[in-house]
C-alpha cells in the first residue's frame, strides 16, 4: 500500500528548499514555449472537443460514473494541481488503494483500452496546458504519493519537478509505458538538461507517430 501521508518537499534548516532547484535558465525558450503551448492547444482543441464529447458518451454507455475525472498531480517545484482525463478505468478502480498502471491492467474498460492506445483519454489536459499547469512537452506529472514512494529508493526522482510537466515527454516517446520509474527518471533528466524548441518539436512529431501506430500504450 502506498503511504499517502507524504510531503513532496521535505524542508530542513541546513538545506533550503530553493537550493536544489538550480538549473540552466532559458528565458527566451520558456517564453516561446509558453506561446507555442497556448497556440497549439487552442488549434488542437477545435478538433479535440467533438472527439472528447463522443468519447464521454461511449464511456458512460459502458460503465457507470462520470466520464471526466480529475486527479491531483505534482507540477513544477512540487506545486500540486488537478489533471483532467477521460475515465478509462472502472469507477472503483482504486478501492484497494493507489496503484501504478501496468500494461495489461484489469481495471481498464473496453473503451478505456481504445482511448489509451490512441491517447484520447489525455485530450482534456489541453485545458491544463492553457491554464498554465502543464506544457505540451515535459516530464509526465506523477501523483504525489508515487513521487514520494519512488523517491525513497530512486535518488533524485524529485528532480523531474524542475520543469513544467507535459502532455507528452521524452520518456514517453523513447520508453513508452514499459519502462521502470528509474529508467523514466533518466530519460526525463536528459530532457531537462537538453531541452530546446527543436527537441520539443521532435518529441511532438514522434508522439503523433506513436498515436497513429498505437505503440507504447497500456
pLDDT at 216: 53
Q: Could you tell me the pTM of the whole model?
A: 0.80
Q: Tell me, yes or no, whether 40 lies in a domain.
A: yes
Q: Tell me, yes or no, whether 168 lies in a domain.
A: yes
Domain range for residue 61?
Answer: 24-213
pLDDT at 15: 33
Q: Tell me, yes or no, whether 186 lies in a domain.
A: yes
Q: Tell me, yes or no, whether 178 lies in a domain.
A: yes
pLDDT at 99: 56
Q: Tell me, yes or no, whether 4 lies in a domain.
A: no
Quick count: other Cβ atoms within 10 Å of Cβ 55?
24
Q: Tell me, yes or no, whether 3 lies in a domain.
A: no
DSSP 31-51: HHHHHHHHHHHHHHHHHHHHH
Listed as ranges, residues in the chain with pLDDT below 70 are 1-22, 91-106, 176-177, 214-218
**Number of separate domains in the chain:** 1
pLDDT at 8: 43
Helix (H), strand (E) at residue 58:
helix 27-62
Return the ∠ at Cα 168 (arms to 40 and 114), rounded to 5°: 100
pLDDT at 206: 93
pLDDT at 192: 94
Helix (H), strand (E) at residue 197:
helix 197-213
For residue 182, give every residue at least 6 positions away whose Cβ sits within 8 Å of its Cβ, in sequence order, or none: 154
Q: Tell me, yes or no, whether 5 lies in a domain.
A: no
Q: Tell me, yes or no, whether 36 lies in a domain.
A: yes
pLDDT at 126: 97
Amino acid at each position: 500500500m502506498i503511504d499517502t501521508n507524504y510531503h513532496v518537499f521535505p524542508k530542513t534548516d541546513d538545506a533550503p528548499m530553493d537550493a536544489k532547484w538550480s538549473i540552466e535558465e532559458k528565458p527566451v525558450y520558456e517564453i516561446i514555449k509558453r506561446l507555442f503551448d497556448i497556440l497549439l492547444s487552442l488549434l488542437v482543441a477545435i478538433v479535440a472537443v467533438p472527439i472528447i464529447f463522443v468519447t464521454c458518451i461511449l464511456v458512460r454507455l459502458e460503465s457507470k460514473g462520470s466520464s471526466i475525472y480529475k486527479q491531483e498531480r505534482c507540477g513544477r517545484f512540487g506545486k500540486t494541481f488537478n489533471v483532467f482525463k477521460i475515465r478509462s478505468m472502472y469507477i472503483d478502480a482504486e478501492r484497494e488503494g493507489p496503484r501504478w498502471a501496468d500494461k495489461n491492467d484489469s481495471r481498464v474498460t473496453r473503451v478505456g483500452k481504445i482511448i489509451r492506445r490512441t491517447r484520447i483519454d489525455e485530450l482534456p489536459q489541453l485545458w491544463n496546458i492553457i491554464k498554465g499547469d502543464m506544457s505540451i512537452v515535459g516530464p509526465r506529472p506523477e501523483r504525489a504519493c508515487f513521487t514520494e514512494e519512488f523517491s525513497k529508493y530512486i535518488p533524485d526522482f524529485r528532480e523531474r519537478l524542475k520543469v513544467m510537466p507535459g502532455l507528452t515527454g521524452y520518456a514517453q516517446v523513447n520508453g513508452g509505458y514499459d519502462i521502470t520509474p528509474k529508467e523514466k527518471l533518466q530519460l526525463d533528466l536528459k530532457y531537462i538538461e537538453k531541452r530546446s524548441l527543436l527537441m520539443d518539436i521532435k518529441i511532438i512529431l514522434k508522439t503523433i507517430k506513436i498515436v497513429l501506430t498505437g505503440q507504447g500504450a497500456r
